[in-house]
Amino acid sequence: MNYKKELADILYGLLGQGIPADQLEILIEKPKNPDHGDMAFPCFTLAKLKRKSPNVIAQELSEKIQSAAFEKIEVVGGYINIFLNKKLVSETLINQVIDEKGQFAGLDFGKGGTVTIDLSSPNIAKPFSMGHLRSTVIGNAIALIAEKCGYKPFKINHLGDWGTQFGKLITAYKLWGDAEKVKQNPIKELLALYIKFHEEAESDSTLEVEGRSWFKKLEDGNEEALLLWQWFRDESLKEFSRIYELMNVEFDSFAGEAFYNDKMDRIVNLLEEKQLLVESDHAMVVDLSEEQLPPCLIKKSDGATLYATRDLAAALYRKENYDFVHSLYVVGHEQSLHFKQLIAVLGKMGYEWAENMVHVPFGMMLKDGKKMSTRKGKVVLLEEVLNESIAMARNNIEEKNPNLKNKDQVAKQVGVGAVIFHDLKNNRMNDIEFSLEEMLRFEGETGPYVQYTFARACSILRKANYQAVVLPENESTTWEKEWKVASLLMEFAPAIKRACENHDPSLIGKYIIDLAQGFNKYYAEVKILEEKESLEARLALVFSVTVVLKEGLRLLGIEAPEEM
Ligand code: ARG
C-alpha cells in the first residue's frame, strides 16, 4: 500500500547495485500540480552517476517500470511522472480502512521500545502556566503518536515539588497563613503567601535567612517541615488534577523533583569517582568548556542540591527502571541550555544512552503579542480558560443546534478540543497568540472546524444507514472525482511517521485540516446521497474520512463528537 516504496523497489531492481532502495524512496516527490501525476522521480542524481542526460535515463527506466498500481508513466524534464491507477489504489485503500478502522495507518517501527516522555511538570504551589499547558498538550500528543508507531510511551510528570522556594513558603505560611483559606483555594492562597514573602523580604532581611533555614530543615527531614510540604503538594495536585481531567490527560508517573532526594548522593559520588567534579566559587560544578557550554552546577556551598542534580538522578533512574530507547523532555525553549548541559554531563560520565535523550522545545503563548505571565497580577488561570472555552462552545450549541443530546459533553469536547488544536496546528517552535474567539471559530483552521466536518460526515452515513462492508469487486466508480480525497487518505500514515520522527504533532494537525478541506470541497461538488450509481463507493469514502479524521484528532488528544 506504500506506492512510493513500491516504485523505489522497482527502480532498485532495474538499477541494480548503487543507490539503496530507501535512498531512492527519499528522492520520490509528490508533484505540486496534479497534471504531473501522483509521484515523480527526478533522475538528476542518476544522471551524474551514469553520465547520461536525465531525460535519457528517465526514458530508459520508464519503459521498464511495470506495476498494476501504475496507470500511466510520463517522462518530462528529467522526471519520471507516475499516475496511479485510481480505481485499484482507491479501492484497496478504502477496503483497508473498512477492515482496520481505528487501527488504520498503524505503524510498527517503534518495535515495542519504551519512550519516556517528561511532560507538563508544573511547579507545586504556583499556577499552572501557559507553558505547562503547551507541554501537556504537545507531550500528550507525542505519546499518542509514538504509541501509534509501535513504541511504548511512558508519561512522567516531573513535578517541581522541591527547592528553596518551599523554605520560603513554609516561613510565609507560619507567619501569615490560614489553613482554611489554603484548603479552599490552594494555588491562589499559596501564591499570595509567596508573593507576600518577597514583598516583606525587601525590608526584612531575616526572612530570607529564615526561608533558607526552613528549606534546610526540609532537606534534613524535619517532621513539621515535611508535613507542611506534603500538604501543599497534595492540595496543589488536587487542583492540577482537575485540569488534567478536563483535558483527558493521564500520567504513568508523578515522580517529581522530590522523588530524587535520596538518589542524588549517588550522582555526586559517581561524578567524584569519574573525577568530573571541580570547585568553583564555593560550589561543585562539572566543567563543560570542552563542550563549549557553561559549567553545570551540581552542589551549592551549603550542600543544597539543584535542579540539574535532580535531573541527572532522574535520567539515570529512567534508564535503569524503564530502559528507554528514547527519552524526551517536552519543556519550553528557555530551558535549552539546561538540557544541553544535562546531556553533556551524562555523556562525560560515559553513558552512551545520553545520545537518546532529546529536549523537545516549544515557543511561548502570547497575549496581544506579549508573553503571558503568571506574575504581576496578569495571571491567566488555565482552568478558567478551559471553562470559558467550554461555556462559549455551549453557547454556540444553543444557537446552532439547540436540540442536540448530551450538550454538556459535546461542549466539553469542543471547548477543550479547540484549545488543544489551536496549540497543535502550528509547528511547536512558533510562538502562538492566545485568542478564545479564534480557537472556537467554525471556519478556518480550527479544532471545531475539523470536528464539525467529522460530524457532518457522520450524519451522511447515518442518513444512508451505512454499514461498513468491503466494496464489491465489480464496483462501477472510476474514482475520478473521489481521487483527491482518496489520495489524501493515503497521506495519513506518512504524516504520522513524520510527526513521530520530528516530535511534531502539528504535522498531523495540518494533515487533518487538509483532509477536512478536501472532504468539504468534495461534499460541495458531489451530491453524495442523491445518485444511486456508485453510492456504495461514495459512502465508503465518506466512512474512511470519518475514520481518519477521528483517529487524527485522537492522536492530538481531541475527541470527536458524532453530532454537534
Ligand atoms: N518544573 C519545571 C518548570 O516549570 C519543568 C520541569 C521539566 N522537566 C525536567 N525534567 N526538568 O520550569
**Distance in angstroms (rounded) separating the CA atoms of residues 68 and 204:** 83
CA dihedral 529, 531, 536, 541 (to 10 degrees): -60
**How many Å lie between the centroid of ligand 1 and the Cα of residue 171?**
24
CA 195 / ligand 1 centre spacing (Å): 21
Rounded Cα gap, residues 9 and 490, in angstroms: 19
Mutate to test the pocket of ligand 1, among 138, 310, 335, 358 (most ligand atoms within 8 A of CB): 335
- Ligand 1 binding pocket (C-beta < 6 A) is 118, 121, 123, 158, 160, 311, 314, 329, 331
Cα separation values, 263 from 52, 317, 322, Å: 64, 8, 16
Q: In this structure, which residue's CA is closest to atom 1 in ligand 1?
A: 160
Of 179-193, 212-226, 294-308, 517-531, minimum mean pLDDT range: 294-308
Atom of ligand 1 nearest to the CA of 160: 1
To test the ligand 1 pocket, which listed residue (116, 117, 120, 121) has its Cβ within 8 A of the most ligand atoms?
A: 121
Residue 258 has which C-alpha cell? 522530590
Among 207-216, 278-287, 368-377, 509-518, the range scoring the smallest mean pLDDT is: 368-377
Distance 271 CA to ligand 1 centre (A): 23
Q: What is the rounded distance in angstroms from the CA atom of residue 234 to the CA atom of residue 447?
A: 33
Place of cell 500514515: 493
Provide the grid cell at 343: 546531556
Closest CA to 38 of 78, 71, 66: 71
Q: Which residues pair with 277 in a beta bridge?
A: 286
Binned at pLDDT 50, 70 and 90, residue 535 comes out as very high
Give the chain's end-to-end CA distance (angstroms, integer).
34
102 residue type, one letter? G
CA of 331 to the centre of ligand 1 (A): 7
Mean pLDDT over each residue of the chain, to the nearest integer: 93
Residue with cell string 507553558: 131
Res 16: pLDDT? 81
Whose CA is closest to atom 11 on ligand 1?
Answer: 311
CA separation for the pair 543, 94 (Å, rounded): 9
| Alpha-carbon gap, residue 335 to 322, rounded angstroms | 24
Cα gap 472→81, rounded to integer Å: 30
One-letter amino acid at 283 equals A
Atom 5 of ligand 1, nearest CA residue:
121
CA 58 from chain center: how many Å?
Answer: 40
Q: How far apart are CA 534 and CA 545, in angstroms?
A: 17
- Whether the Cβ atoms of residue 337 and residue 293 lie closer than 8 Å to each other: yes
Q: How many residues does this entry show for the chain?
A: 564
pLDDT in tens, 63-101: 999 999 999 999 999 999 999 999 999 999 999 999 999
Lateral strand order in the sheet of 39-42: 39-42, 79-84, 70-76
Output the CA–CA distances (angstroms, integers) from residue 22 to 8, 73, 154, 493, in the order listed: 7, 21, 30, 17
Whose cell is 568548556? That residue is: 289
Using the mean position of ligand 1's atoms as its centre, give its distance from the Cα of residue 222 in Å.
26
* pLDDT, position 380: 57
Work out which ligand 1 atom sits closest to the CA atom of 338.
11
- Residue 71: in which H helix or E strand, if any? strand 70-76
| For the CA of 307, the nearest atom of ligand 1 | 11
- Residue 441's pLDDT is 85
Nearest CA to ligand 1 atom 4: 122
Taking the centre of ligand 1 as the mean of its atom positions, its distance from the CA of residue 378, in whole angstroms, is 22
373-416: pLDDT as tens digits? 654 444 457 888 899 999 999 999 999 999 999 999 999 999 99
Alpha-helical segments (H) within 38-178: 44-50, 54-64, 86-100, 130-148, 164-176
Q: Which pLDDT belongs to residue 374?
A: 53
Name 90's Cβ contacts closer than 8 Å, sequence gap at least 6.
Answer: 477, 479, 482, 483, 486, 541
Distance 561 CA to ligand 1 centre (A): 34
**pTM for this one?**
0.94
Pick the closest to residue 537 from 60, 93, 46 (CA basis).
93
* Residues 69/82, Cβ–Cβ less than 8 Å: no
Cα 121 to ligand 1 centroid, rounded to whole Å: 5
Using the predicted structure, report yes or no on whether residue 219 has a pLDDT greater than 90. no
